[in-house]
Amino acid sequence: MKAKQYPKISLLSRSNWLHSKLSRFSFKFTQQNSSHQFSPINHQGMTVIEILVVVAIIAVLAMMVMFGFSRQMSKARDTHRKDDLFKIQVAFEDYYNDNNCYPELAILENCGGGELSPYLREIPCDPETNEPYIYFSLGGNQCHGYRVLVALENIN
């Protein structure tokens, strides 16, 4: 009688199994030269081109900030001029109500003066140049009307 045959089973030991799995991969360990490794001590610093790029970026940012700052300052001066015009208008109308005529033409020439007191504590002048505002009468007579002119920096 023939012996019963069983299928052949091959068992791999752990070392053979690991060897069969790792045989598909290749590892190579090399020691790098110390001059090629990253080291803050061996870092030579920034190149000239890097420094120029950084300086250019800082210059562009500084110009943007200064342009924005100067524009805001000119807007603030224009707001101050408009506020001065309103104060002059109120003072002139109060003066007209009391005297039936507007003030003399030379009244605005003394910046900081008190010629319009009690209507206006002090005569305003341009915040940038400290020059007086231009004042003239309409129709050749200051009792008919007046104009006060200022030069605004921003038209918008």
Higher-scoring residue by pLDDT: 118, 24 = 118
- Domain contains 17: no
- Domain contains 35: no
- Domain contains 16: no
Q: Which residue has 């507007």 as its token pair? A: 102
- Domain contains 30: no
Contact 108, 89 (CB under 8 A): no
- Domain contains 21: no
The pLDDT, as a whole number, for residue 53 is 93
Residue span of the structural domain in which 61 resides = 48-149
User: Mean pLDDT throughout 16-45?
Assistant: 57
- Domain contains 15: no
The pLDDT, as a whole number, for residue 58 is 94
- Domain contains 27: no
- Domain contains 28: no
Position 12 pLDDT exceeds 80: no
Closest to 124 (Cα-Cα) out of 81, 92, 154, 153: 81
Q: Can you tell me the distance from the alpha carbon of 151 to that of 141, in angstroms, rounded to the nearest whole number?
A: 24
Query: Domains in the chain: how many in total?
Result: 1
Q: What is the pTM of this model?
A: 0.58
DSSP letter at 132 equals B
For 91-112, write each residue's pLDDT tens digit: 999 999 999 989 888 888 888 8
The pLDDT, as a whole number, for residue 143 is 82
Peptide bond into 40 cis (omega under 30): no
